[in-house]
Amino acid sequence: MTLYYDQIDTPIGTMFVVSNGKAIVRIDYGSLHSMNNKLASWLKRYFPDSRLVHSPEQVKQAKYELLEYFQGTRKTFSFPFSFYGTPFQTQVWQALFNLLPYGETTAYKDIAQAIGNPKAVRAVGGAVNKNPISIVVPCHRVVGANGKMVGYGGGLDKKEFLLALEKNHE
């Protein structure tokens, strides 16, 4: 299978966008070079016989919408995307996408309750940490139960930037 990618320069650094030709399958922080090990592991698991081809055209809509988001003019995304993860991870990511509006935050325990598994707070945290569609699936909007900033795969500085961006454009 051929996967298509391009990079996008954003106010919080380079982001890497991957498409399977029909939908976006990954948006992550970093360049192809900087995320080589992380990407290789993910590809081996979900697309073992794939090859990556640089093709800006295949990810053009996603890049355009992400740039609008960073300009504060877009609050929702319309391009197609597909999740690749375990059934539990997919359930958590879908809940984040469906239930967490622009500019609002929630706690891991609230996501656990929303998916009907209130005791799975730690597992929800693990799934959030593995989110393959950064920003669009808004894991940056998940905070600790006490409202404090807690881990973010892109780094807390990026999480703080994204939350401030959304607050400024509500």
Alpha carbon distance 109, 117 (integer Å)? 9
Alpha helices (H) along the chain: 36-46, 60-71, 87-99, 108-114, 121-129, 156-168
- 56 to each of 76, 92, 124, 136, how far by Cα in Å? 22, 29, 33, 19
Q: Which residues participate in catalysis according to the annotation? A: 139
